[in-house]
Amino acid sequence: MRVSVQSEPFDLGAEVASFTAGAAGAGAVVSFTGIVRPDGGLTGMEIEHYPGMTGKAIQAILAQAVDRWKLVDGLVIHRHGRLAPGETIMMVATAAPHRGDAFAAAEFLMDYLKSRAPFWKKESRDGGESWVAAKDSDEDALKRW
Amino acid sequence: MRVSVQSEPFDLGAEVASFTAGAAGAGAVVSFTGIVRPDGGLTGMEIEHYPGMTGKAIQAILAQAVDRWKLVDGLVIHRHGRLAPGETIMMVATAAPHRGDAFAAAEFLMDYLKSRAPFWKKESRDGGESWVAAKDSDEDALKRW
Amino acid sequence: MIDVLYFAWVRERIGLPRERVETGAATVAGLVKELCAREERYAAAFADISALRVALDQELADFDAPLAGVREVAFFPPMTGG
Amino acid sequence: MIDVLYFAWVRERIGLPRERVETGAATVAGLVKELCAREERYAAAFADISALRVALDQELADFDAPLAGVREVAFFPPMTGG
């Protein structure tokens, strides 16, 4: 179980490969990767976070997922700082004996990271900068868990 | 959109990395990996398939997923032949603008591959060999789509 | 003449992976009946049709599907991929 | 004395990331009221409390939560991680 909050890029392929190789007893590994979508003339993104809280909050969410779905292992990497379109923002990986648990835990983690981990995204476009507004659909997504 | 049915191992990390790098316009990439679970004294697994049908059937399932969830891209790799405990059996990857579509498409693909792609697993244990029985829960999982 | 393929334990029970069959059967069910009449090993393999699946020319089909124009019939247990 | 932190557009509107505040407020809502009374930029940042979130000692809390024993209060918009 590992959580990393970092400004540096991460090596997605290497992370998925080593997570999977280390998940002894797992029959199913799910990974999710979030990417800065280069649409609407986006030129960049700045991710602010709350250093004193971010790591702790994600650890708590991950521990909850591991416990609830009996995961063999779980991983969350989330970047902050300046990101260019096409760059990977974050990833989660879950390993479980069966696929249903690995999928559910990964979706749960994503729904919670979206609305409960202290990150704020600011988008840059030619016209200026603007904070990304939280979506009602993301808040609603939490209700299924 | 790529489908590969092969006996050789595949490089999971490299596949996830290159799939993600090539998914222009995606904001979300989900990957699933199936592993030979080393439980119950399993010593190996043999996967039989129907060469004339397997590739075609998976192509059809993948095309359906791409169309239904407006995927940017989709990938399925499935092995056949002799596998040892801990080896990766197969993977799927899906790329979409938003996470909900990428997750749903990956789960749909897994549910269909489990029960509609012509593969049959035979497990080896110290006591002998036995064909894996299809699970009612896997058949039921199809009904949600 | 039609190609008939067997997979997994259907193949093992019948004892061969494929054969060419001369048949006048109108449907898959008719073909199964002809095969069962041949030998005990066929009857054993097809004893419980609900435990089997069939594909016609590499597409999943039902046991009451017509055989007209079909070149390849495959019998196998429920799939266990993924 | 209590540390008060601001993030994202709350930080921008108030114009600073953190400050130490002397307060006698019993709850988060009481502290917000005191801050709003200070200057227009605070009133602007806290105009719509339903658009804000609060954490007490790095744990999400409600605006009616008591401040007794709390060392760090953080105000920010709804999170947009992932």
What residue segments make up the domains of chain B, in order of their start?
Answer: 2-127
pLDDT digits (tens, 9 = 90+) for C13-36: 999 999 999 999 999 999 999 999
Chain-chain contact of B122 with C8 (C-beta, under 8 angstroms): yes
Q: What is the ipTM of this complex?
A: 0.95
Asked if pLDDT for residue A4 goes beyond 90, the answer is yes
pLDDT tens sequence for chain D (82 residues)? 999 999 999 999 999 999 999 999 999 999 999 999 999 999 999 999 999 999 999 999 999 999 999 999 999 999 999 9
With CA atoms as reference, the chain B residue closest to A26 would be: B37
Residues in chain B within 8 Å Cβ distance of C51: none
> Which residues, 6 or more positions from B69, have their beta carbon under 8 angstroms from its beta carbon?
B94, B96, B101, B102, B104, B105, B108
Please work out, in degrees rounded to the nearest 5, the angle formed at the alpha carbon of residue D41 by the alpha carbons of D39 and D47.
105
The pLDDT score that the predictor gives to residue D23 is 95
Considering only alpha carbons, which residue of chain D is nearest residue A32? D82
Residues of chain B with pLDDT under 50: none
Residue A1's pLDDT is what?
95
Put simply, the answer to whether C81 touches B52 (Cβ < 8 Å) is no
Q: pLDDT digits over A47-99, tens only?
A: 999 999 999 999 999 999 999 999 999 999 999 999 999 999 999 999 999 99
* Candidate CATH numbers 3.10.20.30, 3.40.50.300, 3.30.1490.120, 3.40.640.10; the one for domain C2-76: 3.10.20.30
Q: Which of B56, B113, B133 sits opposite C81 (nearest CB)?
A: B113
How many whole angstroms separate alpha carbon A30 and alpha carbon A110? 12
Inspect the interface and report whether the beta carbons of B28 and A32 lie closer than 8 Å.
yes
Per-residue pLDDT band at A120 (split at 50, 70, 90): very high
Number of Cβ atoms within 10 Å of the Cβ of A145 = 12
Q: Is the pLDDT higher at A89 or at A127?
A: A89
B36-71 pLDDT tens trace: 998 878 999 999 999 999 999 999 999 999 999 999
pLDDT at A40: 79
Per-residue model confidence (pLDDT) at position B127: 84
Residue D77: which residues within 8 A CB-CB, separation 6 or more?
Answer: A120, A131, A134, D7, D8, D9, D10, D51, D52, D53
pLDDT at res. D43? 96
pLDDT reported for residue A127 = 84
Domain ranges of chain D: 2-76
Flag if B30 and A106 touch (Cβ within 8 Å): yes
pLDDT of residue A38: 84
Architecture of domain A2-127: Alpha-Beta Complex (3.90)
Q: What is the DSSP string of B10-72?
A: --HHHHHHHHHHH-TT-SEEEEEEEE----TTEEEEEEEE-HHHHHHHHHHHHHHHHHHTT-S
- Chain B nearest CA to A14, separation (Å): 6
Question: What is the C-alpha to C-alpha distance for residues D36 and D50, in angstroms, rounded to an integer?
Answer: 15
